Amino acid sequence: MNLVNTVQTAGFYSVNFNGANLASGMYFYRIDVNGGEEAKNYRATKRMVLIK
C-alpha cells in the first residue's frame, strides 16, 4: 500500500493511515527520500504493530 508517492518540497507532513482492512499483526513500512544532486538520500525501514 502506498500512502504518498509524490514529489514534495522540504517541510513537515503527516499522513493518516487506516488499517481497518488489515489483520492485527506486525507490519513493516519504508520511508524513501531522494535528496537530489547535492543532498543525501535516506531510506529507513521500520516496524509497526497493528492491534485491533
Where are the domains positioned within the chain? 22-52
pLDDT at 26: 97
The C-alpha cell that represents 1 in the structure block: 500500500
Q: Output the pTM of the full model.
A: 0.69
3-state secondary structure of 41: coil
pLDDT at 24: 97
pLDDT at 18: 92
Location of C-alpha cell 535528496: 35
Give the tens place of pLDDT for each residue, 1-52: 889 998 888 889 999 989 999 999 999 999 988 887 778 899 999 999 999 9
Positions of E strands within the chain: 25-33, 42-50
